[in-house]
Amino acid sequence: MSSSVIRLPDDTAASVKSVAALYGETPGTRLAQAWAEYLERHQEEFGRQFNEVARMMRENDIDGLVKFQMVGAEDRAAEAAAALRSSAH
């Protein structure tokens, strides 16, 4: 298993540690299991998105690719800004 630093909000990290302790596991093990479950639950959605992007690439649909990329961009930017603000304190 590889070792990586993953930054989490304090409340999320505390929650992961608590749940992992209940199961007698490490937080990393619990996160890996949660990630695997997430991927499994969303497999169809990821497949649809992959097929849609593949279609846009085959058809050279640049506007469609840009729109696809921009979905959620404002939310990602807000999350990144919040993370920067909290790390500055």
Predicted confidence (pLDDT) per residue in 73-85, tens digit: 887 788 888 888 8
DSSP designation for 9: -
pTM of the model: 0.60
**Helix residue spans in 27-87 (DSSP H):** 27-41, 43-58, 62-70, 73-87
The angle formed by the CA atoms of residues 47, 45 and 75, to the nearest 5 degrees, is 120
Q: Is 53 within 8 Å of 63 (Cβ atoms)?
A: no
What digits encode the pLDDT tens for the residues 20-67? 999 999 999 999 999 999 999 999 999 999 999 999 999 999 999 998
The region, left, alpha or beta by phi > 0 then psi within -120 to 50, assigned to residue 87 is: alpha
Q: Which helix (H) or strand (E) holds 25?
A: none
